[in-house]
Chain A
Amino acid sequence: MRIVCIDVPSFPLAAWWRADPELRGAPLIVTDAPGPRARIVACSAEAAARGVAAGLTAAQALTIANQLVVRCAAPAAEHAAQAALCDAAYACSPRVEEGGPGTVYCDADGLRQLYASEPELARAVAGRVRSVGLEASVGIAATKIAARLAARDGDGGAVIPPHEDWRFLAPLSIHLLGPSPALQATLARWGVRTLGDLAALPASAVATRLGPEGAQLARRARGEDEHPLAPRPLPLHFEESAELDYGVDSLEPFLFVVRGLLDRLVARLALRGLICGDLRLSLGLANRGRDDRTVTVAAPSNELKPLLTLIRLHLEAHPPATAVDAVRLAAVPERLRPMQLDLFRPNGPAPAQLAATLARLAALVGAERLGAPAVADSHRLDAYGVEPFDVRRSAFGMQRVTPNAERTTPNGGAAPALALRALRPARRLEVFCNRDQPDFVRLVDAPEEASPYGCSGRVVTLAGPWRVQGEWWRRDAVHRDYYDAQLSDGAVYRLFFDRAQQQWFVDGVYD
């Protein structure tokens, strides 16, 4: 069996570099807690060059070198970095096991069809880890412990050829296995300094003299795993977060932060062969409140710009109550669905572009004034519906077209259907009757404000009434008599007499 170990050295430091790339190159120290007495758990090479080492307190380090950048360990950033590391491993192999913070094992058996050699596999894995913002060393060996030691050996790791584990492990220092200080002192007294020295000792004698810990150390020195590789599937959870130094109350700086989160999320999704669906944005407010919201992504995509535009438009439409000092962004992963394009239909709008455009339009006119018109299931003549404009249906419709559909209309194709221009809401009319018949109509309100069509004049021809009665269970039940009336201005209007209100209205003009 061949096992790949992906190891990220100084993992707390790497998590911070991933969350804030501007910290690369800075003399950064990461402490285990806030405050001057907190211990340093990791420090960058620049900080180490100034004499700082892990184990010192932050105050001691600042005494040695006063230009250090101090950051407290961020569990959320480390969790996201660990998940990203697993995503990179999954991009190479389907059998992955987490080996603690900053370490992941995966099964390399069967990957020879994809990669020409094991060094090439190691380079590919390192490249994928780099794509999620981490720098890892990769080791490949027959066992987990050998692969881990190979990853920690030298610069960027190593590949131990099959059946040569022992030759590789024997000269390595015993410190690489991390024995306890007492055990380390005992081994030093015995003159055991390398893995080869320890492995050469009889196993039973080591167990008798050093106890279970010594026996376990000897097994690891021989390159034997305590547990075999136990791959287990990880949940598809894509979340990135950031803590801000101070509350941000303007959109542009906040979007700059969100862009970084989104960039990392999209990179992780791409590694798993997924695309970004809805986005869940959780804002930590300066008043210690939380503001959770969902940004609907009509057209799932991994393109950064439209996704960021959707977040921008959402925040412009619904700004948070106060300044934001923390943000958590989670993506709902979706599978990339292949679409069958139609040879005989024109291409519709690109789904991602259309989703951004719909969001912009909704911000401009309001979401309730945007959509696809629909015929309502009602006997009301003025009833209508608005449905969401379906991107996929619009772009790649599956509705078939009959060959002669070009000239076929529901009314038989003889003449274009007559259209009605609706007046919403219906305008009140004053009707003057002559011998119980409407003879003259005029709008009750001022004509310029009431209707763009006039709707006033002598009745030239009148047809009707058609009684529409129904929906008695509603408070605004319909009980109307409809008429088609041609007025002296030449236009034909649809009038109705509302029997409940005892009032005349005009609700449309035939055009």
Chain B
Amino acid sequence: MVTAARERFASLQFPGVRLGALLAEPVRRVPTGIAALDALLGGGLPRGHLSEIVGGPSSGRTALLHALLASATRRGEATAVVDLLDALDPPSLARAGADLGRVLWVRPPSPQTALKCAELILGAGGFGVVALDGLGAPAARPLPRPVWPRLAQVTRRARAVVALCASRRMTTSCAAVVLRLSQRRVRWGGQLFDGITTTAEMTRSRFGPAQQAVVLALGERLAALEGVQIESWPAGRSGGGEGAVDRAISG
């Protein structure tokens, strides 16, 4: 369609007017470390742009963020997490395969401070991935809209991936990619919590077709319990109390 429009425009005679050429800069991608998601995204999240990861509790957005951080740190990149809710669980991040020494963890007290921290980190340069987590919390005061174009501009200069992880969309049209995660089901292996199956839908993409989705199986709860021997497990739901505890898994 664009080609046809260019040909149509070129066929018109405008004396003194020359048809210019758009110099498209190739988009560099940062893989998330999840093959199916990278295929959906066309290689990963775009460098130099804002990306949003939207989802409710137990939708898998944190697992996705951890996978992105792990992938970046394994490549030797420095990363940063601006964690407004103080919700980062270092053991989870380590289990995802991240080199924790390459993760700068900042816990600001307010959304405004969180944005300022993100701008400072991006201004320092050299950070491959900067994650902003918890900005869209229900109790948090909404941020003014002009902050997002400003953050997008700083991100473009820093050539980093800025991933906003929130329960709702925040950046209006400033995000180049929006991934919406929704839980399909919770997997229980026998009587153990095994993981979450979630749908990752790309609802917005500035670089290609959107409205595509992929189903992801996140996590193996059992894998986190290395060295634990399951001796017996009671049938049915188990509750509190001394008797239930005696039948529990012993580590």
Contact residues of A with B, CB < 8 Å? 342, 344-350, 353-354, 356-357, 360-361, 364-365, 369-376, 384-387, 389-390, 393-395, 397, 399, 401, 405-412, 414-424, 431, 433, 436-438, 448-449, 452-454, 461-467, 481, 483-484, 486, 489-492, 497, 508-511
Docked-complex contact A511 and B61, CB < 8 angstroms: yes
Find chain A residues with CB under 8 A from B216 CB.
415-416
Contact of A490 among B58, B66, B125 (CB under 8 A): B58
Is B148's beta carbon under 8 Å from chain A? Answer: no
Measured CA separation A432–B59 after assembly (Å):
26
Docked-complex contact B196 and A418, CB < 8 angstroms: yes
Q: Which residues between 114 and 163 of chain B lie within 8 Å of chain A, taking CB atoms?
A: 116-117, 120-121, 123-128, 134, 137-139
Find chain A residues with CB under 8 A from B77 CB.
346, 348
Known: A365-B117, A389-B104. 7 other contacts (CB 8 A): A345-B75, A349-B124, A372-B105, A397-B99, A424-B86, A466-B249, A510-B219
Docked-complex contact B102 and A421, CB < 8 angstroms: no
Contact of B89 among A356, A395, A508 (CB under 8 A): A508
Docked-complex contact A384 and B120, CB < 8 angstroms: no
Most buried by B among A399, A415, A417, A424: A417
Distance to closest chain A CB from B49 (angstroms): 18
Measured CA separation A327–B191 after assembly (Å):
68
Find chain B residues with CB under 8 A from A344 CB.
76
Distance to closest chain A CB from B44 (angstroms): 11
With A384-B91, A411-B220 already in contact, the answer to whether A418 and B126 are too (CB < 8 A) is: no
Docked-complex contact A465 and B33, CB < 8 angstroms: no
Find chain B residues with CB under 8 A from A448 CB.
138-139
Docked-complex contact B58 and A510, CB < 8 angstroms: yes
Docked-complex contact A365 and B106, CB < 8 angstroms: yes
Measured CA separation A402–B245 after assembly (Å):
43
Query: Number of contacting residues on B, CB 8 A?
Result: 92
Contact of A350 among B34, B57, B74, B125 (CB under 8 A): B125
Contact of B76 among A389, A397, A410, A508 (CB under 8 A): A397
With A365-B108, A490-B58 already in contact, the answer to whether A415 and B195 are too (CB < 8 A) is: yes
Measured CA separation A373–B250 after assembly (Å):
28
Docked-complex contact B117 and A374, CB < 8 angstroms: no
Contact residues of B with A, CB < 8 Å? 31, 33-35, 55-67, 70-71, 74-78, 81, 85-97, 99-109, 113, 116-117, 120-121, 123-128, 134, 137-139, 167, 183, 186, 188, 191-193, 195-196, 216-221, 223-224, 237-241, 244-245, 248-251
Find chain A residues with CB under 8 A from B237 CB.
437, 461-462
Find chain A residues with CB under 8 A from B94 CB.
375
Docked-complex contact B74 and A405, CB < 8 angstroms: yes
Docked-complex contact A395 and B78, CB < 8 angstroms: yes
With A346-B76, A509-B57 already in contact, the answer to whether A395 and B64 are too (CB < 8 A) is: no
With A373-B100, A511-B63 already in contact, the answer to whether A415 and B125 are too (CB < 8 A) is: no
Contact of B96 among A389, A405, A419, A433 (CB under 8 A): A419
Contact of A416 among B59, B66, B88, B105 (CB under 8 A): B66
Contact of B90 among A385, A409, A486, A510 (CB under 8 A): A385
Residue of A nearest to B247 (CB): A465
Contact of A372 among B35, B70, B104, B109 (CB under 8 A): B104
30 A-B residue contacts at CB 8 Å? A342-B76, A348-B78, A349-B78, A361-B106, A364-B116, A365-B106, A370-B106, A372-B105, A390-B101, A393-B102, A394-B101, A394-B102, A395-B78, A395-B126, A397-B99, A415-B219, A416-B216, A417-B66, A417-B97, A417-B220, A418-B196, A419-B93, A421-B85, A421-B87, A437-B237, A463-B191, A463-B192, A467-B250, A483-B240, A484-B192
Measured CA separation A257–B63 after assembly (Å):
51
Docked-complex contact A415 and B217, CB < 8 angstroms: yes
Measured CA separation A350–B125 after assembly (Å):
8
Docked-complex contact A401 and B101, CB < 8 angstroms: no
Docked-complex contact A361 and B120, CB < 8 angstroms: yes
Docked-complex contact A465 and B126, CB < 8 angstroms: no
With A415-B219, A511-B63 already in contact, the answer to whether A433 and B117 are too (CB < 8 A) is: no
Find chain B residues with CB under 8 A from A411 CB.
95, 220, 223-224
